Amino acid sequence: MPERIKTLASKHRGLVVVSVIMAIVCVIWVLPVAAVILNAFKWNTFVKTDTFALWNAENFAGWSNFITGVTFGNYNFWLAAWYSTFITIVSTFLILLFCSMAAWYITRVDSIWCKIIYYLCIFSMVVPFQMVMFTLSSTADQLKLNTPWTIPIVYLGFGAGLAIFMFVGFVKSIPVEIEEAASIDGCGPVRTFFFVVLPMLRSTLISVGILEIMWVWNDYLLPVLVLDINQYRTIPIHIQYLKGSYGTVDLGATMALILMAIIPVIVFYLACQKYIIAGVAAGAVKG
């Protein structure tokens, strides 16, 4: 059947064309990141005038932007990086642990209070941060939640909605018979949860965990309003401060910092790509 072979051939040619177009678009897609790398190694004055020029003897700054970058702006970058890391990890851990526990309790006990809490959680998901930003920051300050060590509690509170919603969705699909069997074997609720239910939640834990990590790590407005920013800054706050203040902005050093801020993200992404993409798909479908 020559007709059919011809269509197949043209279809194949079509796919090659699509591949090539996609490859070009992909290159365009990574150009902004390439521009950051390019300019992170250029002297300040060239960033503005020769943004897209390649490195040459005149504009290449070596590591000097990075050296300036970690100290300029009256704040140590590593400190900000450490606070960002700590806050992200602890907040995510708290959210995963307590929200999965709460979701299981809500689903299994299913009392009127549980329903109220559950609907409040759903409600909180649609409330924009601006609604509570001012009052949250003053409440957090009164309760001394304005340090990196305590701000995870704020994240737990503000992030509980989505996490509980997603966990409840999954717990509902776990047959209660497994837990009944555990209970016959003499497991109390606590052991049942930690040894029977939690392992089954693995994939949801990963999905929720990734969404929370992405949220907390990149969040700007909540920490800037809640944290005592004079002592504690996260990476996004630090970068915003660099651009907004303190004499003449060193664009080269700013780009060096931006590069240092996005490298961990990109490494994390490449390492956990599979889970991230699956998590996003799951999160979106639920939320």
Q: Which of 9, 30, 67, 271 binds other proteins (CB under 8 A)?
A: 30
Minimum distance of other proteins from residue 191's CB (angstroms):
11
Instruction: Count CA atoms closer than 13 A to 270's CA, side-chain side.
Output: 5
Q: Which of 63, 134, 149, 195 binds other proteins (CB under 8 A)?
A: 134
CA angle 69, 72, 75 (to 5 degrees): 110
- Adjacent-strand bridge partners of 42: 60
Q: Residue 92: enclosing H or E segment and its boundaries?
A: helix 77-109
The gap from C-alpha 105 to its chain's centroid, in whole angstroms, comes to 27
Minimum distance of other proteins from residue 202's CB (angstroms):
19
CA angle 226, 82, 268 (to 5 degrees): 105
What is the pattern of x (binds other proteins, CB under 8 A) and - over residues 222-261?
Answer: ---x--x-x----xx--xxx-xxxxxxx-x--xx--x--x
Of the two residues 19 and 63, which places its CB atom closer to other proteins in the complex?
19
The footprint of other proteins on this chain (CB under 8 A) covers a number of residues equal to 122
Instruction: Count CA atoms closer than 13 A to 273's CA, side-chain side.
Output: 4
Residue in the structure block whose two tokens are 């052991």: 191
Q: Which of 144, 149, 185, 271 binds other proteins (CB under 8 A)?
A: 144
The answer to whether 203 contacts other proteins (rule: CB under 8 A) is no
Q: Which residues of 176-187 are buried (b: 16+ CB within 10 A; e: fewer)?
A: eeebeebeeeeb
Report 77-116 residues binding other proteins (CB under 8 A).
Answer: 94, 98-99, 101-102, 104-106, 108-111, 114
The answer to whether 52 contacts other proteins (rule: CB under 8 A) is yes
Asked if residue 218 lies in contact with residue 89, where contact means CB atoms within 8 angstroms, the answer is no
The answer to whether 54 contacts other proteins (rule: CB under 8 A) is no
Of the two residues 21 and 67, which places its CB atom closer to other proteins in the complex?
21
Minimum distance of other proteins from residue 62's CB (angstroms):
20
Q: Which of 1, 5, 23, 54 binds other proteins (CB under 8 A)?
A: 23
By three-state DSSP, how is residue 42 classified? strand
